[in-house]
């Protein structure tokens, strides 16, 4: 087994980033990489990945309850109705990451999500970029920060009016929602999503 996996007191192997912090461990064990195929769930993940840009994911995860409260539970219809007064309110909210450009982008992305409903919706678009072959990372260094599919997804999202959705953010979204499996070979989560088998 790679030295980049740590066997916990429960006998399960996890990557270093998910092995010590209880919050990150719980997120890794129960949520990260599991399929998200509904509009609401994907809009939340897309929004949080955009806020994470340039920051640690742990910071975003700790603030997720605050984000959910501030952004109406990430209901696209509710967020799409936000106006400048909501932007000013959010800029004063210590429960979230107070970045005007990202806040404005999230509101715009909610509107873009609604517009997509006429053409199959956000889940159909995002899952349409699932790669044909799985990754088999044995070390963290084997995991790319983007892929041909994430480049194409980012380009299509931008064409549809989404912002803060570059190739790296798109790849992180794909990892978080099970579209790609970047669990290290040997991890107890490898292949657990049901999207990709563990032995490939």
Structure tokens at 114: 């609604």
Query: Which residue in 4, 39, 44, 49 is the catalytic one?
Result: 49
Tell me whether residue 27 is one of the annotated catalytic residues.
Answer: yes
Q: Catalytic one among 17, 27, 138, 156?
A: 27
The secondary structure of the chain, three-state, reads CCCCEEECCCCCEEEHHHCCCHHHHHHHHHCCCCCCCCHHHHHHHHHHHHHHCCCCHHHHHHHHHHHHHHCHHHCHHHHHCCCHHHHHHHHCCCCCCCCHHHHHHHHHHHHHHHHHHHHCHHHHHHHCCCCCCCCCCCCHHHCCCCCHHHHHHHHHHHHCCCCCCCHHHHHHHHHHCCCCCCCCCCCCCCCCCCCCCCCC
Task: Clarify whether 57 is annotated catalytic.
Answer: yes
CA-CA distances (angstroms) from residue 62 to 22, 28, 71, 103, 155? 11, 14, 15, 18, 30
Annotated catalytic residues are: 27, 49, 57
């Amino acid at each position: 087994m790679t030295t980049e996996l740590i066997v916990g007191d429960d006998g399960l192997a996890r990557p270093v980033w998910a092995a010590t912090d209880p919050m990150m461990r719980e997120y890794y064990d129960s949520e990260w990489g599991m399929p998200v195929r509904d509009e609401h769930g994907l809009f939340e993940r897309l929004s949080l990945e955009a806020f994470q840009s340039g920051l640690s994911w742990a910071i975003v995860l700790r603030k997720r309850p605050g984000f959910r409260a501030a952004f109406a539970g990430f209901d696209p219809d509710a967020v799409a109705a936000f106006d400048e007064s909501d932007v000013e309110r959010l800029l004063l909210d210590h429960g979230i990451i107070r970045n005007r450009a990202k806040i404005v982008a999230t509101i715009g992305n909610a509107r873009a999500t609604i517009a997509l409903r006429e053409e199959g919706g956000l889940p159909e678009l995002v899952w349409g970029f699932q790669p044909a072959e799985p990754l088999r990372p044995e070390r963290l260094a084997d995991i790319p920060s983007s892929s041909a599919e994430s480049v194409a997804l980012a380009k299509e999202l931008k064409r549809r009016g989404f912002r803060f959705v570059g190739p790296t953010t798109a790849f992180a979204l794909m990892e978080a929602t099970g579209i790609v499996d970047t669990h290290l070979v040997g991890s107890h989560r490898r292949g657990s999503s049901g999207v990709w088998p563990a032995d490939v």
